[in-house]
Amino acid sequence: MPRPRPILLTALLGLAGALAITGCASRASDTVSDAERQAARQARLAQVLPMPVPGRIDTLDREWRDAVRERTVPVRLHLPRESSAPVPLVLVSHGIGGSRFGYSYLGRHLADQGYAALHVQHVGSDNRLWRGNPLELLGRLNGAATEAEAIARAQDLRFALDRVLADATLAARVDASRIAVVGHSYGANTALLTAGARVPGKPVLVDERLKAVVAISAPPFHGLGDPGPILAPVTVPALHVTAEDDDIRIPGFTSGVEDRLKLFAATGSEHKRLVVFRDGSHSMFTDRLGTGGSEHNVAVKQATRELVVAFLDGLWRERSTGTSADAHDAHRNELDHWRERHAGLLSPLQAEALPRVASTSAARTIEPTTPQ
């Protein structure tokens, strides 16, 4: 009788295999350092995508050690160099096989726009999976697919946030009342778990300090059926991002945009938004160039990072009176302005495909109806 897979998170083995096939996670060469790879990647990105000019942001790398769990938690923190007040903080959780150096197009932009971006590396499911004997890769992917690693990833975010707020110098630069979490792929599930998602019978991993969540290309919660009971407890403002061709397809496992839409519909937040880009790929939301079409890839990166800023700005920077209604109106206005700028990138996905979801502006950006 085959051993049942853990049920806490996604079909992780399928996801890991898909990422290995599509190149979503960068394979690491033992002869090239992470710093060298990052420098090369930054140079390529800077050729096609505007990046902050030197001197506008600070970038700090730390290797923290959680003595209780006996686990290292490497981080990279991007901060605006000059700010008249503490800035909001955004935690970033990478997909399987990623690292703290990934999603730089997003984190550096956040810092340039007045946010701190804390990229957390999950050592049990990071880029070290791609190193070593290729014949042992499946074993390493199995290790990354365990329930224990799924839990550890959420605990990594909590530990990293604890360390930032316990450091007097860093804590003085961030606003502890405005903290969000962003994740891509496996990281999107990690983000949702820390933002309120609860798997029946499993540890509660929510961090009440998190006030908003962005889930990019979130895979389904494998083996658990209806995601409603899992995601209904997510009540903080939520942004889900995907693409028409945001597909994971390998033998034995298929997950497409329909799964992303179901997770959005199941999310319990009163203030939630869904953005679906046309065409694309699962890995175009990483630092990788070319996937999903060379020009489209760059355009979606630019739009995605502007979207995350618009989403957070609407929550935290445009509240004229402080009332719930005004905050919701400001939130809507920020995202509507973003939609107008990037209408050509967006999918004509019909809102009717989503239960309990109504459309705005030709069903390009979708938000929930008010419950009757």
pLDDT digits (tens, 9 = 90+) for 205-222: 999 999 999 999 999 886
**Given a cut of 90, is residue 224 above it in pLDDT?**
no
Q: What is the pLDDT of residue 350?
A: 38
Higher pLDDT, 183 or 140: 183
Q: Considering the chain, what percentage of its residues have pLDDT values greater than 90?
A: 63
Radius of gyration, CA atoms only, the chain: 19
Could you give the angle at the alpha carbon of 221 between the alpha carbons of 160 and 183, nearest 5°?
35
Mean pLDDT of the chain: 83
Burial (CB < 10 A; 0-12, 13-18, 19+), residue 204, is exposed
pLDDT tier, 253 (very low <50, low <70, confident <90, very high otherwise): low
Provide the terminal-to-terminal Cα distance of the chain, rounded to the nearest Å.
48
Q: What is the pLDDT of residues 113-138, one digit of tens each?
A: 999 999 999 998 988 888 888 888 87
Q: Are β-strands 365-368 and 357-360 bridged in parallel, bridged antiparallel, or unpaired?
A: antiparallel
**Given a cut of 90, is residue 88 above it in pLDDT?**
yes
**Given a cut of 60, is residue 197 above it in pLDDT?**
yes
Backbone angles phi, psi at 122, to 5 degrees: -100, 105
Q: What is the pLDDT of residue 361?
A: 30
Contact 259, 242 (CB under 8 A): no
Q: What is the pLDDT of residue 329?
A: 61
Q: What is the pLDDT of residues 317-356, one digit of tens each?
A: 754 344 555 555 656 688 888 999 999 999 987 343 344 3
**Given a cut of 90, is residue 282 above it in pLDDT?**
yes
Residue ranges of alpha helices (H) inside the chain are 12-22, 34-48, 104-112, 137-144, 147-166, 168-171, 186-194, 228-231, 257-266, 294-316, 324-341
Q: What is the pLDDT of residue 140?
A: 80
Could you give the angle at the alpha carbon of 204 between the alpha carbons of 270 and 207, nearest 5°?
60
Contact 108, 80 (CB under 8 A): no
pLDDT tier, 255 (very low <50, low <70, confident <90, very high otherwise): confident
Could you give the angle at the alpha carbon of 185 between the alpha carbons of 179 and 171, nearest 5°?
20
Encoding tokens for residue 308?
């995350």
Most confident stretch, 2-11, 37-46, 74-83, 251-260: 74-83
Encoding tokens for residue 17?
């295999």
Q: Kindly list the domain boundaries of the chain, sorted by start residue.
A: 12-307
**Given a cut of 80, is residue 228 above it in pLDDT?**
yes
**What CATH number was assigned to the domain covering residues 12-307?**
3.40.50.1820
Q: What is the pLDDT of residue 48?
A: 95
Q: How far is CA 229 from CA 148, 221, 224, 225, 239, in A?
A: 21, 11, 10, 10, 19
Encoding tokens for residue 14?
């399928």
Higher pLDDT, 187 or 255: 187
